[in-house]
Amino acid sequence: MAEERCYFCRTGTLEHKRTTMTLHRGDRVIMIENVPATICDSCGEVIFAAEVVERAHELAEEILRTGKADRELIVPVGRMSA
């Protein structure tokens, strides 16, 4: 099978890996780990299949609704001046 080139940078090779997806709901941040993705080995562009995105959104809504997550993180937030 021929290597698939990145659609974004056109130089990197696309690889099937797992990564973390970060979703925002208002002021809440939900991280979904171990998400299957296609990632460029050169520019880092991440491509998710539509069904993967749909499942991640469902999981995020479930976490927000039930409050049950695998773990929680404390995330410092900074702001850049104008």
Query: Residue 57: which CATH number?
Result: 3.10.20
* Full domain range(s) for residue 45: 14-66
pLDDT score of 36: 98
Domain count, the chain: 1
pLDDT score of 82: 84
The whole-model pTM stands at 0.84
Q: Are 18 and 48 in contact (CB under 8 A)?
A: no
> In which band, very low, low, confident or very high, does the pLDDT at 1 lie, cut at 50, 70 and 90?
low
Determine, yes or no, domain membership for 49. yes
pLDDT score of 3: 86
Determine, yes or no, domain membership for 77. no
Closest CA to 34 of 49, 53, 21, 50: 21
Beta bridge partners, 21, equal 32
In angstroms, the CA 14 to CA 5 distance is: 6
In angstroms, the CA 1 to CA 13 distance is: 13
pLDDT digits (tens, 9 = 90+) for 12-54: 999 999 999 999 999 899 999 999 999 999 999 999 999 999 9
